[in-house]
Every structure is written in C-alpha cells, then in structure tokens.
Amino acid sequence: MITVSLSLVLAAVYALTCMLFSLGVAVSWHAWVQYRRASARELLSLRLAPAVGAAFLTLAVALPAFLMHEPDHESEPAGPLLVALAVLAFAAAGHCIVRGWRVWAATRALLRPFGRATGSHAGAGTTVDIVDLPEPFAAVVGAWRPRILAAACLRAACSDEEFRLVIAHEAAHGSAHDNRKLLLQILSPDALAWMPAGAALTERWRAAAELDADARASGGDPRKRLALASALLKVARLSMGITRARSLALSLPVAADGVAERVRVLLAPMPAAAPIRLTPKRMAAVGLSIVVVSLPLYGLVQAAIELLVRFGR
C-alpha cells in the first residue's frame, strides 16, 4: 500500500490544478481566442498559464496549507485518485523531458557538418553564417548560444538590402529571446501539450512572433517594409516543391508558411502600437494578492487535500 508523502500530495495537486487550467485554456482557445488577433505576449502567457498557474497554486497555497494544518500522525495510505494524479504529474514531467531531448537532438543535427558555415556575412550589425543548404533557410538556431544561419541560395536570390532585412528580422528574434520562449512552451509540463489547442496556440504564437520581428526589423520605413516583403516572396518561390525537415530544431526559420499574411501586413499601413496588458509587475501583484486572500482559507485548502487523499479508499 502506498502511503501519503508530501511529494505525492504536491504532485497530485499540481496535476489536478494543471488539468483544470489546461481545460480552461483549451475552452478559451476554441471559444474565442482563435477568432481574434492576439499579441505574441498574450498567446505566450495563455500557453504557459496551466503549468505556471498550477505550480504557483501548488507551492504558494497547497504547500503552506498542508504544512500548517496537517496534523502529526502516522502515515496514512493514499487513495487511488491521489496516486493516479501523481502518476499523471510524473508522466507529464517525463513527456516534457522527452520533447526537450528531441529538440536538443534536432538542433545539434542542424548545427553539425550538414549546417557547417561555408562563409560569413555581416549584416544588421550581426555576423551570419552562410551555409550550404538546398532550401532558402534563414534562422536564429539555439537558445543559449544562438547562431544566425542563412542558406547560400537565399543570399544569392536576395539583393543586399533584402538580405540585410532578412538578417535584421532574425536578429530581432534573437533580441526578443524568441527561441527561449519557444523552448519554454516545448518544455511546459501540462495537459495542454496533449491537446490540439496546445499545438495551435504555439503555432499562432510563432506567427505573431514573426510579425513582431518583421515590425522591429523594418520599423516604420515603407522602403524597408517593401524590401522585406520582396525577400519573403523570393523565399516562397524558392521553397516551392521543397520538403522542410527541420521543424523540430529550436529555431524560427524564414519559411514559405505564413508568407501571405506577413506580406499583407508589411504592405499595409503601420498599425498603432497595441497597449501591453500583461507586465511582470501586474503578474506579481496578482500572485501576491492570491496568496494574501488564501491565508484565511488554508484550513479549507487542507480539508480539500484530505478529501483528495482519501477519495476512493
């Protein structure tokens, strides 16, 4: 018989709250988020909400409630629901480790001799490795020591100004740490990773991050926006009939996917800057308020944990 331990309780509480958050995010995505234009910041926050929210409630609410109100007594046997939820939490953690390993392996494979630089080019204040690839590839690859790679065929097809803007786009990804944000989504241990809504949110975030990088690279200069749109059309033309095999690598490559939307936005008048609704200070204030409001309810939280422990026993 499995007895209750603190790690088992925390794992079960994390799994239960994470599933509830994941279901809420999935419902929100299908009900309205997918039908409106959301910023990359909003999409990233929504994608990470289940894991971050569950971890916060587990450590800031459930843990102190358990430590403060759990009476000293002999270890009691765990109910089947508690055990099942704990196993689910460990399975989610194992799944994110597997996903992380696959991304690491794919990124290493891309940076190995197949992607070895045949030359370098300084553009947009950044050094770029020119690589011998059959596809029009350009991307920031890696999260901690990122490199900008660009295919020789793409460099040959673009004018100097177009190529500088392509590299400025990739440099914008680097300055925004987009690869690290992508890695966080890949490694997020939540039920959303097993739902179609999770993959859809990440893909929508990728598209929004591309638009943000386009805006930072070209600014409000119509000439630069036109040159970047021209480069994107050349990428689309060169990509026709080519199967892309590097989707697992940690990168946000210039690709034919989404070119039509990006070109449309680049050729449209510059929109007014949208206000940033989520800031670290606001998020910290919300978290602190939850902890403060929960203090008088710790006894009820512990009672709920006891029900979870005994359910089905």
| Rounded Cα gap, residues 65 and 222, in angstroms | 58
Q: Are strands 117-123 and 126-131 parallel, antiparallel or unpaired?
A: antiparallel
Highest mean pLDDT among 34-38, 108-112, 275-279: 34-38
Q: Do the strands 117-123 and 147-151 form a parallel or antiparallel pair, or are they unpaired?
A: unpaired
Mean pLDDT of the chain: 82
pLDDT at 274: 55
Beta carbons of 237 and 255 less than 8 angstroms apart: no
Judged against a pLDDT cut of 60, whether residue 119 lies above it is answered with no
Residues forming beta bridges with residue 251, ordered by sequence position: 141
Tokens of 92: 């989610």
Q: Name the more confident of 83 and 284.
A: 83
Give one DSSP letter per residue of 268-298, joined into a string: SPPPPPPP----HHHHHHHHHHHHHHHGGGH
- Radius of gyration, CA atoms only, the chain: 24
Give the model's pLDDT for residue 125: 52
User: Stretch 132-138: mean pLDDT, rounded?
Assistant: 81
Residue 107, pLDDT above cutoff 70: yes
| DSSP code at position 134 | S
Residue type, 160: D
Task: Check residue 197 and give its pLDDT.
Answer: 94
- Give yes or no for a contact between 62 and 305, defined as CB atoms under 8 angstroms apart: yes
| Identity at 150, one-letter amino acid code | A
Query: For residue 255, what are the contacts with CB-CB under 8 A and spacing of at least 6?
Result: 235, 239, 244
pLDDT in tens, 37-89: 888 998 999 999 999 999 999 998 888 888 887 766 456 777 888 889 999 99
Q: What is the pLDDT of residue 1?
A: 46
Question: Phi/psi of residue 245, each to 5°?
Answer: -120, 20
Query: For residue 51, how many other CB atoms are within 10 A of its CB?
Result: 24
Q: What's at 119, amino acid-wise?
A: G
> For 191-217, what is each residue's pLDDT tens digit?
999 999 999 999 999 999 999 999 999
**Residue 220 CA to its chain's centroid (Å):** 28
- Residue 115 pLDDT more than 60? no
pTM for the predicted model, two decimal places: 0.85
Tell me: the pLDDT tens digits for 143-196?
888 888 888 888 899 999 999 999 999 999 999 999 999 999 999 999 999 999
Instruction: Choose between 307 and 225: higher pLDDT.
Output: 225
138, containing H or E segment: strand 138-141
- The dihedral sign for the CA sequence 22, 23, 29, 33: negative
More reliable by pLDDT, 233 or 74:
233
